[in-house]
Amino acid sequence: MDPKEILPHRAPFLLVDDITEIVAGERATGLWHLTGEEWFFPGHFPGRPTLPGVLMVESLAQVGAAAVLQDPRYVGKLPLFGGVERARFRRQVVPGDTLELELNVTQLSARAGKGTGRASVGGQLACEAQLLFVIVDAQEG
């Protein structure tokens, strides 16, 4: 599924290429294919391009947002970061890798939620984190 059909994010900050599974309000999985042409690789790092860990966490958050936004209770809403806990980075992610993303929503209320995410490459864990988010109206006013 095209993430642009669900998420408000757009290039250059849409960090998911495909949403592969969604259980509304519960969990989602997705893929991010890293070509090496992404805007951050030339500076992170010259001669050894590496996906920044914070962008791995953001890609997990985007997959989680897809799960939340598919729940009819959150039409017209926007999940925003409230915090990151227990983030761990286990392997480098480099051009040519496909990041396999999964986020399980562990708590969800009208105003906030929590989820546990994992990012892998070829079955090898690259990143795991607990994400906290707040839910706001998509439009101010």
Structure tokens at 130: 């607990």
Q: List residues with catalytic annotation.
A: 44
Element (H, E) at 113: strand 112-121
Rounded CA-CA distance 131/83 in Å is 6
CA angle 140, 17, 125 (to 5 degrees): 105
* Contacts of residue 106, Cβ cutoff 8 Å, sequence gap at least 6: 114, 115, 116
Q: Which one, of 135, 140, 119, 141, lies nearest residue 69 by Cα?
A: 135
